[in-house]
Amino acid sequence: MFVIRKAQLEVMRDAVVVAGFEARMLAHVERFFPAAASRLGSVGIRALVSLARERARGHGVSTTGAVTNYLNLMLTFGRDFERDPSLPWVREALAAPGSPSLRLDRLYRLAVRREEQGRGLGAREIRELRADGGPVGDVGGP
């Protein structure tokens, strides 16, 4: 008789959750970033999703919406956008006071404003990318 311990069940559950998230993100990237999806392929997209999860966790956030938004930022501004010297507003937003989720939300909203000023995706497209499907409103400062 086999005995499955609680810790083993949790590991299996977590693996299923991660696999499901990766599958949803694969479809997300293929839909909203077709050129990147074509260039990266499914293996590359899964690696980028894993990196987005890791980096978002490094900023203290791990919710599905936060990781999706972080992935969107990576695909829009570059894999290493938070270290890009031409994007100082990113580091400023990530270093601003507030909770980790508030800082990342501010960064995302600031990115939308940057897009409205003509960088990368248009404002409508980046609003469609918002993980929770809600409108992206104005934020009183970065």
Instruction: Retrieve residue 108's tokens.
Output: 């995302």
CA–CA separation, 62 and 78 (whole Å): 20
Q: pTM for this one?
A: 0.72
- Of 15-19, 127-131, 132-136, the range with the lowest mean pLDDT is 132-136
DSSP assigned state of 82: G
What pLDDT was estimated at residue 10? 62
DSSP assigned state of 68: H
pLDDT digits (tens, 9 = 90+) for 34-75: 999 999 999 999 999 999 999 999 999 888 889 999 999 999
| Cβ atoms of 26 and 46 closer than 8 Å | yes
Q: Averaged over 97-121, what is the pLDDT?
A: 82
CA–CA separation, 134 and 141 (whole Å): 20
**Ranges of each domain in the chain:** 8-129
Percent of the chain with pLDDT over 90: 41
CA–CA separation, 110 and 116 (whole Å): 10
CA–CA separation, 119 and 81 (whole Å): 13
- Sorted by sequence, the CB contacts under 8 Å of residue 22 that are 6+ apart come out as 46, 49, 50
- Of 15-24, 25-34, 86-95, the range with the lowest mean pLDDT is 15-24
From 112, 107, 117, 115, select the one nearest 136 (Cα to Cα).
112
pLDDT reading at 141 higher than 50: no
Query: Any alpha helices (H) in the chain, and if so which ranges?
Result: 6-32, 34-58, 64-77, 88-95, 100-116, 123-129
Instruction: Retrieve residue 129's tokens.
Output: 């990318």
CA–CA separation, 15 and 134 (whole Å): 29
Better-scored residue on pLDDT, 132 or 103:
103
pLDDT band at 27 (very low <50, low <70, confident <90, very high): very high
**For the chain, what is the mean pLDDT?**
79
Q: Averaged over 70-81, what is the pLDDT?
A: 91
